[in-house]
Structure 1
Amino acid sequence: MRNLKLFRILEFGDIQAPGKPQCFCLRTEQETVIIGSEHGLMEVDPVTREVKNEIPLVAEGFLPDDGSGCIVGIQDLLDQESVCVATASGDVILCNLSTHQVRGRVQ
């Protein structure tokens, strides 16, 4: 670990999006970043700062609309064009980024 060098730093402070970032996940093949907030997910191109995709998890009923929801983990699933999202309330959600289909809830 001593031989690691930081090659680049990207800051996302200027992206206009609802909520505060809680966690993120890199999508290496698409060269984008998935950012999770108390409102849902958004996929951002780090170079152009363009929001490529948005999935509102509040509208789907997976996060509360009062802003108290919390995404604790995001994992990109390359083979399914989806991301797996874990919330603080115990929900595990599969979000397809191509179709915007959201499914799965563990209670």
Structure 2
Amino acid sequence: MNYAIFLHSHSLFWLLAVISFFVAMTLYNRGKQKPGKIVHMILRLLYLLLLGTGITMIIMNTWWGSIVKGILAFWLIFTMELLASRTAKGTLTPKTKQLFWIQFIIAVVVVIYFGYFVN
């Protein structure tokens, strides 16, 4: 199998996931639960595609950096899902909302750094 195919599809899935995440968050914050839930389900499908392509790339390129990238990406996906699902349910307090957003920003920066600058 060609590693580049998985790499480019994985990058595309990340782009689509981040866009879907912000669209879902915007819809939830504007009180549009049904469209938000639809976009959130699409986001969950993208999580599965991300995990599939990411695990395949780890198997194809077994290196400690790839494993660290996978763990960091899983942390980012976990943070995105927590923010989206708790926003949908309305269970985020201002304090936890701030902490989750800080965690999200840190995770994005670390994942981008490891994804593009650590070989």
Q: Which has the higher contact order (CA 8 A, sep 6+)?
A: 2
Q: Same fold (TM over 0.5)?
A: no
**Which structure has greater helix proportion?**
2
TM range (shorter): under 0.3
Task: Report the TM-score when normalising by structure 1.
Answer: 0.21
Query: What TM-score, normalized by structure 2, do the two folds share?
Result: 0.20
Q: Per residue, is there more strand in 1 or in 2?
A: 1
Query: Which structure's CA Rg is the greater one?
Result: 2
